[in-house]
Structures are given as structure tokens and as C-alpha cells.
Amino acid sequence: MANVFTLAADRFLGRGEASVAIPPMDGALKPNSAVDKAEHLLAIARPDNLLRAGNSVLFSSGRKLLAVSGNWSRPEPVVECEAEILATASGPDGSIAVFDEVRGLSLLDISKRSMVRRNIARLPFASVTAATFRDADTLLVCIGSTRNSVTEWQRDLLDSEVAGSVWSVDLRTSEAKPIAQDLSYPAGCIVLADGKSALVSESWKNRLVLLDLDQKKAPVPVLTALPGYPGRLSPRARGGAWLSLFAPRNQLVEFVRRERTYRRAMMAEVPKEFWVAPALSSGASFSEPMQGGALIQMGILKPWAPTRSYGLVVALDDHHSPVASFHSRTGGSRHGLTSTVEYGSGLVVASKGGDEIISIALSDGG
Amino acid sequence: MASSDILELRQVTKEYLGTAAVKDVDFSLRKGEIHAVLGENGAGKSTLTKMIAGAVAPTSGEILLEGKAIRFANPAEALDKGIAMVFQETSLIPTLTVAQNLYLGKERLLNRLRGVYISAQQFFQSLNFDVDPTALVSSLGAAKKQMVEIARAVHFDARIIIFDEPTASLTPEEKYYFFALLRRLKQRGVSIIFISHALEEALDVSDRITVLRDGQHVITADTKELDRDKIIRAMVGRTLSSDLYGHRQSARPYRRKVLSVENLTMGRMVRSTSFSIYAGQITGIFGLVGSGRTETAKVVAGVLKRDLFHGGRIEFEGVPVRFRTPREAVRRGIAYVTEDRKLEGFFETMTIGENIFVNLLGADKNKTEIIRKSDIIEAGRTWIEALKVRAIGANARVIELSGGNQQKVVIARSLAQVPKLVIFDEPTRGVDVGAIADLHQIINELADSGIAVVVISSYLPEILSLSDRILVARQGRIVEEFSAGEADEERIMYAAVH
């Protein structure tokens, strides 16, 4: 009962969970132009799911899975799925798992350019956001939400759904079991060196949690107050991980999330691209929502509106703390960074919002 | 005595219980000059000037005013002869108004209060001081009290005015007007003795500089012959300048985020400010007076409360916090080292050990429920040793210590609480250069040990030399962030004022 009163008071006073405060991008997250200055590799529609496979890099573009071995001007088609590819993962034995909305899980034989479908009961495939191998026979799968499909992620965010889960799939028996439930849109996961725990990004709570894969402990938040929505995680050669934040937070969206009547009317009546919601890219139409305002900066009065889209990749150390970050700011176009993989001396990044694959030199900072 | 000298001290000595505070000092003051007297805390500056002003009688030696030997029984006699002193600790009467304090000792038989207020108002305007003559002195801040004190000295038509640390509590704008006033007084033929810890001010405003060390005269020279390094060498017997205020080029790496302040709002002073603080780093916060730096720090430390409605969020170690009292913050591991140590930093009549033990109690870090004298002394001894406090022992009263050592006690009180985040607000204000080096070392060691450290300072060289990253506050919010490598004085100041 006390909790109900506290929540009501918080809502009235605009504090606690009802606060519309946003963490700053400072310190290790201080904005720069590293993503905008990064080397252009390939212009392609909605690139995603970057993956190392031997000497090649695999990535998806819509329904297609493509591969590049050094020459980025000539990506080779590997397979084409029946629906948009949602997630991929590569195992220690070289096996590659591919998820799509229609067929669910398939295992790829890259040499034969063919896939074998695996029928996994109970797993809600339409909401797969990320996958990673725990060992050669076990796959960890993030289900963003059981209420909304992946393409409806903005609706899931605005409704503040807590309907996500992480599943363990035994590839020998094709059985799946949830190892963590009631998560707020898990969208990335990486198994840690001990093999017993995994780092999972919980997007709508703007945090990373440590998951005990043996389910002996409850998930523990290890990195909180992120200024964006955390997505995929990939291994970092210097230790730790790369975290992609696919969209920025802003106070207007936080406010709308708390205004139920307005939010529902907006989602019912306004086309999705014009919702007051974060996006992978923005600026395509003057009708897009803006939070208007002005501030005096360096003696000049500037009109101001927080961006709906942004490009941000963060380097995490072994203790899951940010140590460096690469940005594409409001004025940039390489937004909606959803996937990363270290390749050669650089970090290859998929800009799903900017329809581009780029490479950030890792000589310093990374 | 040269013909241009108005005042001369010959072989003056002042002893307290056989210990010489000032020993065989020669000093001269010319007509219409600004003469800076510099030295570490305990060098004898205040004692020397108190002898000139009649507050202290010399044990031996001679004081000559316009060639005639004088000996004042009290400050009133000195004032009669045209020597006024503006003390570091203001000597105003708090229950009287500003105007009444201004005319104190110069009252006529029949005073018309309205007339006093009008003439006081005109007098303050002539000095460019923004002080309400009808306000009670007790309602004024430190800077305004200092202004009234200065105005009083000028009002007495003194031929010699002694200023003891006059600018310590003034804002940059007030300092500007104060220095303009000094120059105007000088043009009118008034001789000024100016005691300061701020070497730049002395170099900027004075004609000659005298340096004392351990109660003895070290050097007197024209200001144009001296520079910062020469003065510091004379003050402490070694070069400290580059060690003290060298520009940090490489920063400590980012570690765990300890504090996240999100859209924090408190009245007009803190306006939707956001920043993060990391473990094992020194985060410098620079801003001019009124930029909301101190208020922000005080909200974080539970001393002040943020706005009730939409006051923003503070996360400490990943957990949202809202402190109602400083004690709650202390127990969580947040220590705030105040900028006003005399008012808020310690109990001046209590011993070092007692002062530290009080904080142990506040943080529930005392060993047992029973308060034992031996525990108090042990706490004092431990921190005297750890921070190299110069005191006769844990039973020394804090009021007996120099400014630098008092500051070390204030820091010891905070560190005894085993904090995870320490916020230093103007840690070296009113502290001599020797102690500054010690304090900087303490701050650096804290960051090296993994503690998150925040240093709020309005002295740019200090910010630049200590900070791994620098945040600039303006108009109630953090407006800019610089890494150690990219920061310089010009860029920081530009961000602070534009």
C-alpha cells in the first residue's frame, strides 16, 4: 500500500520513476564526431547483424545475408530468408544461427550457402532481438517483448512494456527454456569469460544487467543511467565489450511515456513515423516531432530541439564501465547504430538508420 | 628613514611566551604606495601589521611614523594618527545597521538616522560598493561585510590603511572595484599595506613586495623585479610553482560511474543541470560566483534540497537517492568539504580529535557505543599523522592551528567517514602555498586510491593542475566539459562567461 502512495506521490511531484530526467552524455560518453569521420565501407539498405565468420564479415540487409572478405565494394550474397533477418550468432565451432520472423531459427552452412531450419517449440520468434552462443550446443536468445514484434519496438517502448525474456536453446534436443523473464526489452547479450554469466542490455530501463546463466541469482544491474537505449553487444579485443545504443533518450519522449491518454491517442491516430518516439533515423520530413526551445550558447541564441535519432557506440571495460565512445551527433547522418564487430584494425559498425556500414579506426580510444 | 617613507619599522620583534612571532624585522612604507606583505601562514604578516595598527605592542624594536618614534596603546590611538586596519575577521557589530557601523566612533552628539543613511549611501556610491546602508550587518554575506569594513577604513580618512586578506571573500567583480579603489586611494596619497595569499593580486596591484618567512624578513623589492617563482621561493625556500600549478596533460582513465546528476533543479541557483562523476578521477568544476557550483554540490551532499516538483534525479552508485539530511549522504559515502571552513567546517574550540570523532559518530563509524577519551585521541593522532597536520597533538584546539592545518582537519573529518565520493569546495582558499602543495597531494592520493573526487575552485591554475576532466558551470548548469589535454585557461573562462 505504501508503494502505491509512493508511486502516486512520485507521479504528482515528477520524481522517482515518474521523473523525466535524462542522464548526461559526459565523461566517457562525451560527444565527438568519430562516427561521422569514420571510413565509409558500404552503402546498403538497413544493414544489421554484423558477425565474424573466419576471415569474412557477415551482415544482413533486410531478408538477405551477405558476406565480405576484405573487399567491401563487392559483398557476396550468402542466403536469402523468407522474412527480415532479426538476429545472427556464430558458434565456437563455426556454426552460424540465423533468426527470421517466418522460419524462426535456421543453422547456416556457409560453405554450401544453405540453411537448415530447426524447429524450436515455445520460442516467440517474431520478437527475437539478439542471440549468442554460450557453447557449441547452447544458444542464448533475447526476446524483446512477447506483446509486440521487433518492428513494433517504438510501441513497446512507449507502453513501457516489461515483457522481455532471455532463453537458452539446446541445439541437441531443440528445447528452449527461459532463464530470465520480465525484462524490459532485452536487445543484446554477450557471454562473459567465465561462461557462467552473460551481460544483457535491457533497453527500456537503459541499463545492462548481469545474468547468472545457471539461474542461481537474480539479474544484477551493472551499468545504469545510460543516455540512450542499449542494444547489441559484441566482444572487444582489449577486454570488455562494444555496446551499440540504437537511439537516444530525450525528455520529451520520457514525458510522453508518462502521459497515457495522449500517448494512446497519438499511437491510434498518428502515422508511426511521426510519433513522439525515438527513431533509427530522422529529418526525413518537416512533420517529424520536435521539442522546440532556445538557449544562449556562446553568446548566441540558438533554436534547439533534441534529436530523435543518434549514433552511439560505447567501449566497455572488463568491469562493464564505459571507457570510450564514438558518436554521430544531431547533425550527422550515421544514426541508428545497431551492430558492431571488430575486424582488422577497426571497428565495423552497421548504421541501420543511415543505410551504411562504416569502420572506426581503433588506434586510440577503443 | 628616507624622505619618502611615511612609516618605518626597525628591528621589530614580537614574542609570545618566549617564542618569536616576528623577529628583528625591518620594514618601510612610502607615501602613496601599495606595499604587499606576503608569506606562508604563520610567517608573521598579521603580527607585523597588528603592531603597526596598535593591536599588538612590540617586544622590542622601534616604529617611526613620519620620522617620529611612536608606541600605540590600542588601535584607537593608531586610528587617531591615521592608521587603520581592515581585519581578516570582520570587526563589525552585527546587531547594528551598515550605516551605524560606518559611523561608529564618529558619532555626533545628535545623530539623525535618516541623515546618516543618506550620507552612508552617498559614500558607498562613491566607492562603487553595492551595499544597503539600512541593512543589519548580521544579514550580510561575507563579501558585503568585507566591503563595509573597507569603507569604514576609508571613511576614517586614514593615511595608512592595512588590508589583511581583503579579497578572500570578494567576487571577481567586487575585486575589480576594490583594486580600482586601492588605486584611487593611492592617487590621493594614502599608503596601503596589503596582505594576501593570492600572488597574482599582489603582483598586479602593488608597487613593492615584502616577503616574510618564519617571522623573519626575507626580501623587499619593487614588484617589477619579482615574479611568481621568485616570490614563492622566498616564501617557502623552494620552488613550488610548477609543482603546484603545472598543467595536467594526461588524465586518469575512466572507471565506474559513481554519481549521475540528471536535470537537477533548485530554485534559480541550479537549473536543470546534468553531469556524471567517475571513480578514481578528479573532476574539476569551475564557475564564477553565482554559477550554482556550490549549491549543486550541497544538493548532492544533502545540505540543500532540490525542488519538490520536477527537481531532477540523482543516482549514486546506480541507486536513485534523495537525501533529506547531510547525515544520510554521509552514511551512503558522500563527503562534502565546505568552502567556508570557519563557519561550517569545524568546531573551533574543540580539539582535533574531538572534531574528527564527531564525524565518526555521524557516519556510525565509531568502534563501540561507548565514547572513550582514548578513542578520540587515537582518531586525532591517526589523522594528524596521515595528513601531516602541524599541531602539538590530538588535544590541540582547531582554533590554534593555521589556515592550512585547519583545512587539513576539515578534510580529515570527511575522510574519517570512509567516503566513496569527496567534494572539495574551494579546498585551498585562504591557505598558504606550502599547505596548498600538501592539500593537492592529499587530493591526488584520494583519486589514485579509487575514490571519486570533485574539486570546485574559482582559481583556474588549480583546476588545470588537479583535474582529469573539467566541467564548467554557468547560470546554474554545467555548460561545457573539457578533458585535461584540451583545456586551457582561455577556453574555460570563455565557456564560463559566455
Q: What is the per-residue pLDDT across A77-99, written as a single tens digit (0 to 9) for each?
A: 999 999 999 999 999 888 899 99
Mean pLDDT value across residues A17-27: 86
Measured in angstroms, the CA of B436 and the nearest CA of chain A are apart by 27
Strands B313-316 and B257-266: antiparallel
CB–CB contact A13 B254 (8 Å): no
**Side-chain-side CA neighbours of residue B180 (13 Å):** 10
Which residues of chain B are within 8 Å of residue A16 when distances are taken between CB atoms? 320
C-alpha torsion angle, residues A157, A162, A164, A165 (rounded to 10): 150
- Based on the domain organization, do B127 and B222 belong to the same domain? yes
Which residues of chain A are within 8 Å of residue B487 when distances are taken between CB atoms? none
pLDDT at A236: 95
CB–CB contact B256 A20 (8 Å): no
- Based on the domain organization, do B196 and B283 belong to the same domain? no
b/e A5-17 (16+ beta carbons within 10 angstroms → b): eeeeeeeeebbee
Question: Is residue B390, in this structure, part of any structural domain at all?
Answer: yes
CA angle at B439 for the pair B433 and B443, rounded to the nearest 5°: 140
Mean pLDDT by 10 residues, chain B (498 residues): 80 77 90 89 80 90 91 87 77 88 79 85 84 86 75 84 78 75 85 84 91 88 88 68 64 92 89 93 86 91 88 91 91 90 84 90 78 87 86 82 84 91 88 78 93 90 91 89 86 76
CA angle at B157 for the pair B152 and B161, rounded to the nearest 5°: 70
Which of B264, B265, B274 to mutate to test binding with chain A, by most A CBs within 10 Å of its CB?
B274
Nearest to A309 by CA among A352, A267, A358: A352
- Based on the domain organization, do B222 and B277 belong to the same domain? no
> Cell numbers at residue B325, please?
539530511
Place of cell 564526431: A33
pLDDT at B97: 92
CA angle at A203 for the pair A197 and A205, rounded to the nearest 5°: 95
CATH number of the domain at A23-361, please? 2.120.10.30
CA distance B287 to B476: 10
| Tens digit of each residue's pLDDT (9 = 90 or more) over A162-207 | 999 999 999 999 999 999 999 999 999 999 999 999 999 999 999 9
- Based on the domain organization, do B159 and B22 belong to the same domain? yes
CA angle at A42 for the pair A29 and A352, rounded to the nearest 5°: 50
pLDDT at residue A130 above 80? yes
Question: Is residue B249, in this structure, part of any structural domain at all?
Answer: no
Nearest residue on chain B to A323, alpha-carbon basis: B254
Say which of B254, B309, B312 has its CB closest to residue A28: B254
CB–CB contact B315 A24 (8 Å): no
CA B359 to chain centre: 23
Q: Which residues pair with B285 in a beta bridge?
A: B456, B471
Which residues of chain B are within 8 Å of residue A297 when distances are taken between CB atoms? 479
pLDDT at B88: 59
CA B164 to chain centre: 12
- Based on the domain organization, do B327 and B232 belong to the same domain? no
Which of A10, A13, A20, A26 to mutate to test binding with chain B, by most B CBs within 10 Å of its CB?
A26
Nearest residue on chain A to B275, alpha-carbon basis: A24
- Which comes out higher in pLDDT, residue A262 or B288? A262
Measured in angstroms, the CA of A45 and the nearest CA of chain B are apart by 36
* CB atoms closer than 10 angstroms to residue A364: 6
CB–CB contact B276 A16 (8 Å): no
Question: Is residue B447, in this structure, part of any structural domain at all?
Answer: yes
CA distance B491 to B476: 19
Question: Is residue B67, in this structure, part of any structural domain at all?
Answer: yes
Nearest to B389 by CA among B450, B442, B429, B443: B442
CA distance A351 to A43: 10
pLDDT at residue A1 above 70? no
pLDDT at residue A303 above 60? no
Which residues of chain A are within 8 Å of residue B262 when distances are taken between CB atoms? 19, 21-24, 225
Question: Is residue B276, in this structure, part of any structural domain at all?
Answer: yes
> Cell numbers at residue A177, please?
527454456
Mean pLDDT value across residues A349-355: 96
CB–CB contact A15 B310 (8 Å): yes
Nearest residue on chain B to A12, alpha-carbon basis: B309
Which residues of chain A are within 8 Å of residue B313 when distances are taken between CB atoms? 15, 19, 21
Place of cell 552460424: A96
CB–CB contact A22 B263 (8 Å): yes
pLDDT at A291: 58
- Based on the domain organization, do B213 and B344 belong to the same domain? no
CB–CB contact A13 B320 (8 Å): no
Given B239, B269, B285, the domain boundary residue is B239
Which residues of chain A are within 8 Å of residue B483 when distances are taken between CB atoms? 30
**DSSP code, position A18:** G
Which residues of chain A are within 8 Å of residue B469 when distances are taken between CB atoms? 27
CB–CB contact B479 A323 (8 Å): no
Number of domains observed in the structure of chain B: 2
Nearest residue on chain A to B306, alpha-carbon basis: A15
Mean pLDDT value across residues A273-285: 90
Tell me, letter by letter, the H, E, C secondary structure of chain B.
CCCCEEEEEEEEEEEECCEEEEEEEEEEEECCCEEEEECCCCCCHHHHHHHHCCCCCCCEEEEEECCEEECCCCHHHHHHCCEEEECCCCCCCCCCEHHHHHCCCCCCCCCCHHHHHHHHHHHHHHCCCCCCCCCEHHHCCHHHHHHHHHHHHHHCCCCEEEEECCCCCCCHHHHHHHHHHHHHHHHCCCEEEEECCCHHHHHHHCCEEEEEECCEEEEEEEHHHCCHHHHHHHHHCCCCHHHHHCCCCCCCCCCCEEEEEEEEEECCCEEEEEEEEECCCEEEEEECCCCCHHHHHHHHCCCCCCCCCCCCEEEECCEECCCCCHHHHHHHCEEEECCCHHHHHCCCCCEHHHHHHHHHHHCCCCCCCCCCHHHHHHHHHHHHHHCCCCCCCCCCEHHHCCHHHHHHHHHHHHHCCCCCEEEEECCCCCCCHHHHHHHHHHHHHHHHCCCEEEEEECCHHHHHHHCCEEEEEECCEEEEEEECCCCCHHHHHHHHHC
- Based on the domain organization, do B315 and B456 belong to the same domain? yes
CB–CB contact B276 A299 (8 Å): no
Which residues of chain A are within 8 Å of residue B312 when distances are taken between CB atoms? 19, 21
Which of B250, B252, B254, B477 to mutate to test binding with chain A, by most A CBs within 10 Å of its CB?
B254
CB–CB contact A27 B257 (8 Å): yes
CB–CB contact B311 A15 (8 Å): yes
Count CB pairs under 8 A between chains A and B: 86
Which residues of chain A are within 8 Å of residue B257 when distances are taken between CB atoms? 27, 223, 225, 321-322
- Based on the domain organization, do B457 and B346 belong to the same domain? yes
Q: What is the CA radius of gyration of chain B?
A: 24
Interface of A with B (CB under 8 A): 13-16, 19-24, 26-30, 221, 223-225, 251, 297-299, 317, 319, 321-324
Say which of B278, B320, B479 has its CB closest to residue A27: B278
Place of cell 552628539: B109
Say which of A24, A28, A221 has its CB closest to residue B275: A24
Question: Is residue B248, in this structure, part of any structural domain at all?
Answer: no
- Which comes out higher in pLDDT, residue A12 or A187? A187
Nearest to A309 by CA among A246, A357, A254, A356: A246
Q: Which residues pair with B89 in a beta bridge?
A: none
Which residues of chain A are within 8 Å of residue B497 when distances are taken between CB atoms? none
CB–CB contact A224 B315 (8 Å): yes
Percentage of chain A exceeding pLDDT 70: 94
- Based on the domain organization, do B411 and B483 belong to the same domain? yes
Taking a C-beta distance cutoff of 8 angstroms, is the pair B63, B250 a contact? no
* CB atoms closer than 10 angstroms to residue B475: 16
Question: Is residue B195, in this structure, part of any structural domain at all?
Answer: yes
Task: Categorize the per-residue pLDDT at A366 as very low, low, confident or very high, splitting at 50, 70 and 90.
Answer: low
pLDDT at A271: 93
Domain boundaries, chain A: 23-361
Say which of B276, B310, B498 has its CB closest to residue A14: B310
Question: Is residue B284, in this structure, part of any structural domain at all?
Answer: yes
- Based on the domain organization, do B197 and B297 belong to the same domain? no
Task: Check which CATH number belongs to the domain holding B91 and give it.
Answer: 3.40.50.300
- Which domain covers residue B300, as residue numbers? 257-497
CB–CB contact A14 B309 (8 Å): yes
CA A171 to chain centre: 25
pTM higher than 0.90 = no
b/e A172-195 (16+ beta carbons within 10 angstroms → b): eeeebebbbeebbbbbbbbbbeee
